[in-house]
Amino acid sequence: MGLLANRVAIVTGASKGIGRVTSQIFAREGARVVCVARSAHLVKETAALAQQDGGEALAVTADLGTEDGAKAMVAETMKAFGRLDCLINNAGDSGPTQPIQDYALEDWLYTLNSCLTSSYLCARFAVPPMIESGGGSIVNISSMAGRRGLAHRVGYCSAKAGQLGMTYGLAVELGRHNIRVNAIAPGAVEGDRVDRVLTAQAELRGIPAEAIRKAFLARSPLRRMVTPEDVASAALFLCSDLARNVSGQCLPVNAGEPST
């Protein structure tokens, strides 16, 4: 039996990267996984990959920055599986790389909506069925950017810091229902998203992208970025009984990168 046998887990932002890998690992560990994203064809690919690993998976297309989208996600989960045990709040956009004087209000609101408001809405609608199931685990995928900040990334930093505040508040509120709430703060995660951010930073500063990458790596004592598998493995731990007394915590997965 796997670490998540007989549990039902929602993984948001499951079209690729951390969300896709988490869906696969959770399915491998026995969970029935609800893979959620805005892109129908990509989330269907993720569900198919999870099923290839021997698990059971459902693909749901939804805009989680809206009440209707978050509510429908939970409703489809309950219709298919009748319970909910785990929620991985991974959905969110990286937002623009701009100095504050050029950071448009519409970009600010979009970034907060996609990262923070979506997490709030998913938790809001996931909590009642978790209570009915006797408890559960919510894991918010935050970022080291929410702990120490990054230049020209004010929207993303603010949204990810907000996820941490939500984590701590919900952990206190929901403990009496046997619902644990934790966060993961990844450092730079290898993939297309970090490549886009590094390129944008390099263009803004007028220096080569490789110089920005080296500066990111220099922050880490291990001199490397983390992988989606690293983050997914941490989420697996936090949702399993191995972490049954872990709540209200932020777990950095950052190759030793300092928090400040």
Report the catalytic residues: 156
Give dist(CA 70, CA 148) in Å, integer.
Answer: 30
Kindly tell me the burial class for residue 83, based on how many C-beta atoms sit within 10 Å of its own C-beta (0-12, 13-18, 19 or more): middle
| Closest CA relative to residue 201, chosen from 254, 151, 154, 155 | 151
Token pair of 128 as six digits: 């009642």
| Closest CA relative to residue 259, chosen from 151, 112, 150 | 150
Q: Is 45 helix (H, G, I), strand (E, B) or coil?
A: helix
CA distances from 28 to 60, 155, 167 (A): 19, 35, 27
| Closest CA relative to residue 89, chosen from 37, 134, 42, 156 | 37
Q: Is 204 helix (H, G, I), strand (E, B) or coil?
A: helix
Token pair of 180 as six digits: 């644990």
